[in-house]
Amino acid sequence: MKGRFGNVAPQSFLVIWGLMTALPLVWVFASGFKSDAEILNHPWGLPAQLRFDNFARAWTHGHIGQYFLNSAIVLLVSLTLTMLLGSTAAYALARYTFPGNRLIYFTFVGGMMFPVFLALVPLFFVVKQSGLLNTLPGLMIVYTAYSLPFTVFFLSAFFRTLPTAVAEAAMIDGCGPFAMFFRVMLPMARPGMISVAIFNLLGQWNQYLLPVVLVTKEDKYVLAQGLAALAVNEGYRGDYSRLFAGLSLAIIPVLVVYAVFQRQVQSGLTAGQMK
């Protein structure tokens, strides 16, 4: 009985937790197909018919398409820079010994503990004086700098778990430092790279505070910032169906990415311990 209860209790907790997480998402998606009258009069009911025009109106008239494109462009460049710079820095700190190695490493770790809102005012003036205020390249650079501490911290621990014998064999075969990193070590670190890339992708996709401070022109809004503006505008207009449709469009990419790469995320988080 004790063993059965020990199995049932955590499973019941996970089921309850799963319902608490999934039901709000289901409610948002269902509301995206409703009319405004159905949302107000029957908020917990199912839609009488599927109104796909709500999503079309959110994409065009709600400017979700423009916000989505801005976020995709910023994310593509910033995530590429984050993974390239973060992986090279983590590899050097994990596999090479040189003066200041620990100081640089703990500087990156300290960056994880520094609240970003404390740097918003000086960050605003630095970006403004650089001529990057209200520009997508400005967001790309700031996103990259914001994501580097976690990337270096995560990947440096992962690179330490990789077998040294493989690196020594590559050196004997005449492999240089750059070739060893890109052709030998980086493919071996693929599970960790995928995991940290997905975490950075989710964090940068949902970033709201930095765009609000650094972007004030509506045509440069990213998705999270645009959704906040959409919520205010549609709340005053009473067009709740377009609001929920826009929220659904913003949630779908995140769910798709995690559904496709969930096994890689789990394997990346446990690979270091398994080795």
Task: Say what the pLDDT of residue 237 is.
Answer: 64
- Give the Cα separation of 189 and 184 in Å (integer): 9
Q: Give the pLDDT mean for 146-166.
A: 88
pTM here is 0.81
pLDDT digits (tens, 9 = 90+) for 200-223: 988 888 888 899 899 988 888 888
Q: Give the pLDDT mean for 103-119.
A: 86
pLDDT digits (tens, 9 = 90+) for 47-69: 888 888 888 888 887 678 888 89
Task: Say what the pLDDT of residue 80 is.
Answer: 94
Q: Give the pLDDT mean for 113-141.
A: 89
Residues 6+ apart with CB under 8 A from 189: 87, 155, 158, 159, 162
pLDDT digits (tens, 9 = 90+) for 159-202: 888 888 877 787 887 777 888 888 888 888 888 888 898 889 88
Task: Say what the pLDDT of residue 256 is.
Answer: 84
- Give the Cα separation of 35 and 239 in Å (integer): 9
Query: Token pair of 194, please?
Result: 């995928």
Task: Say what the pLDDT of residue 269 is.
Answer: 56
- Give the Cα separation of 115 and 113 in Å (integer): 6
pLDDT digits (tens, 9 = 90+) for 81-101: 999 999 999 999 988 888 988
Task: Say what the pLDDT of residue 275 is.
Answer: 45
Question: Is pLDDT at 150 greater than 50 in this prediction?
Answer: yes
| Percent of the chain topping pLDDT 70 | 91
* Residue 234: band (very low, low, confident or very high) from pLDDT cuts 50, 70, 90: low
What's 10's DSSP letter?
H
Answer for the pair 105, 93: CB distance below 8 angstroms, yes or no: yes
Task: Say what the pLDDT of residue 273 is.
Answer: 47
Domains annotated on the chain, with CATH: 61-274 (1.10.3720.10)
CA dihedral 87, 92, 95, 96 (to 10 degrees): 180
Which of 70, 55, 21 lies closest to 205 in space, CA to CA? 70
